């Protein structure tokens, strides 16, 4: 297949996105936080197979609320399903690929491995949230806008009807005031460590994103989602899109 034919085929096909959210260790320094962001940006520029990408740090406090409460005063997550996650995540990476072969090239790239080793040293690796999912259309990157991403795990006993209602609820957020674009993705592949699905919302700016996340339509959607998911393990972040 020639280059032009390959490019045309890629434009017609959907996009494979790798989304990863990180929680920093409580010993992390400001310099290390900056180094994480630099590393995430470097992945797009230097790693084989990457088509496009986005990254950023949380605008709404990240894991600071979690660190402000001593562990012995926190509700154990296995008893906090109705409370939901105790905090946001601190940093996010989103990378797009044309197919699984390109993602495999990225996974084996020496630059990716080096960045991953550093991230593991300054983040709580056991809490890192990942999902590989697909979307169609133009790249989900609008540099300077604000992205809200939330990853979910299905409850083991959630019936199909409850799962369908949850997916419908987040799809409805596309019409919520302040939301410019919305995407819903379900896990591809069989990695048991991945989350099951996610919602990805794009807003014009920080003020709009704060209004969306704190607004009635979002709260109503989470009320539908919570009974069908392990809601206490939800991984979420709101960040400025530094897309490229």
Adjacent-strand bridge partners of 22: 91
Structure tokens, 28:
């992390």
User: Is the Cβ–Cβ distance between 214 and 233 less than 8 Å?
Assistant: no
pLDDT at position 86 is: 83
pLDDT at 4 over 60: no
pLDDT at position 7 is: 45
pLDDT at 22 over 80: yes
pLDDT at position 66 is: 76
Task: Residue 197: name the closest of 161, 223, 233 by CA.
Answer: 233
Q: What is the rounded distance in angstroms from the CA atom of residue 148 to the CA atom of residue 239?
A: 7
| Residue span of the structural domain in which 140 resides | 3-240
**What's the number of domains the chain is made of?**
1
Q: What's 67's domain CATH number?
A: 3.30.70.100
Average pLDDT for 79-87: 73
pLDDT at 243 over 90: no
pLDDT at position 12 is: 41
Contacts of 27 (CB under 8 A, 6+ apart): none
Neighbouring C-alpha atoms within 13 Å toward the C-beta of 2: 2
pLDDT at 233 over 50: yes
Torsion of Cα atoms, 63 then 66 then 67 then 71, to 10°: -150
CA distance to 6, 42, 118, 131, 186, per residue, from 10 (Å): 6, 24, 33, 21, 21
pLDDT at position 77 is: 66
pLDDT, averaged across the chain: 90
How do residues 94-153 score in pLDDT, each as one tens digit?
Answer: 999 999 999 999 999 999 999 999 999 999 989 999 999 999 987 888 889 999 999 999
User: Is the Cβ–Cβ distance between 78 and 11 less than 8 Å?
Assistant: no
pLDDT at 79 over 70: no
């Amino acid at each position: 297949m020639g280059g032009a034919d390959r490019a045309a085929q890629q434009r017609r096909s959907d996009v494979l996105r790798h989304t990863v959210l990180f929680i920093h260790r409580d010993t992390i320094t400001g310099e290390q936080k900056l180094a994480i962001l630099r590393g995430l940006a470097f992945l797009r520029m230097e790693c084989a197979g990457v088509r496009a990408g986005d990254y950023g740090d949380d605008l709404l406090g990240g894991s600071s609320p979690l660190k402000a409460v001593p562990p012995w005063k926190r509700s154990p997550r296995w008893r906090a399903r109705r409370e939901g996650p105790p905090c946001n995540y601190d940093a996010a990476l989103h990378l797009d690929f044309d197919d699984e072969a390109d993602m495999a090239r990225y996974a084996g790239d020496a630059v990716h491995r080096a960045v991953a080793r550093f991230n593991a040293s300054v983040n709580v690796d056991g809490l890192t949230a990942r999902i590989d999912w697909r979307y169609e259309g133009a790249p989900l990157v609008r540099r300077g806008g604000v992205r809200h991403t939330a990853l979910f795990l299905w409850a083991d006993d959630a019936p199909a009807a409850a799962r369908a209602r949850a997916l419908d609820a987040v799809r409805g957020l596309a019409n919520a005031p302040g939301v410019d674009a919305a995407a819903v993705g379900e896990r591809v592949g069989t990695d048991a460590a991945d989350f099951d699905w996610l919602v990805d919302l794009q807003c014009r700016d920080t003020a709009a994103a704060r209004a969306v996340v704190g607004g009635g339509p979002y709260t109503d959607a989470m009320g539908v989602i919570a009974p069908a998911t392990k809601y206490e393990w939800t991984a979420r972040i709101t960040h400025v899109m530094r897309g490229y």
